[in-house]
Amino acid sequence: MRLLDLTDVNVGYGHTVVAGPITLTLQSGSALLIAGPNGAGKTTLLRTIVGFQKPISGTIQRFTDRLALVPQSGNRNTDMPMSIQSALQYAHPDYVRPGSLLCKNRVSNDTDRALEIVGLLERRRMQIANCSGGEWQRFLIARALLLNPEILILDEPMSALDQDARRSLIDLLQS
């Protein structure tokens, strides 16, 4: 199933193109790696695909609304007085629905499953402020997984991970 089409897409800021023209089709079950030097427009392209900014030219067709972006791990609020588990529950799409026990159970189960997938279930009560860079990156991935995305976009996902966490992420992405 086709999920995304880019046709002659140029991305950048104002009228300054930093990447392009790019033409590609993303099918369900496929993976795409975008590599290049710093400043080559990789993050700008990802932000454009998600819809945070418009392409300078070209067309983007999304055949799904179920996209999730895991940003670069640099930006986080270390003053957030809550646990990893609580922060993840707040991010769950069903969290704000009028409280039925079924929704609460689904939020709790989905949160625990996402934490288990990224290897943070045992650390779920740890405060967000105490997360290492790798733990924070895994939290961001768990948050994206809660959305059950058809397209999962990861911006420099390995940057804060140690070797074991990198291997786990690769295994997760291949499954």
In the chain, the domains with their CATH numbers are: 2-64 (3.40.50.300), 70-150+158-174 (3.40.50.300)
- Residue 159 dihedral angles phi and psi, to the nearest 5°: -60, -35
pLDDT digits (tens, 9 = 90+) for 103-113: 777 888 899 99
pLDDT digits (tens, 9 = 90+) for 26-52: 999 888 888 888 889 999 999 999 999
pLDDT digits (tens, 9 = 90+) for 158-174: 877 778 878 877 887 77
CA distance 74 to 87: 17
Judge if pTM exceeds 0.95.
no
Please report the pLDDT score of residue 158 as a whole number.
81
Does pLDDT of 101 surpass 60? no
Q: Which two tokens stand for residue 73?
A: 């791990």
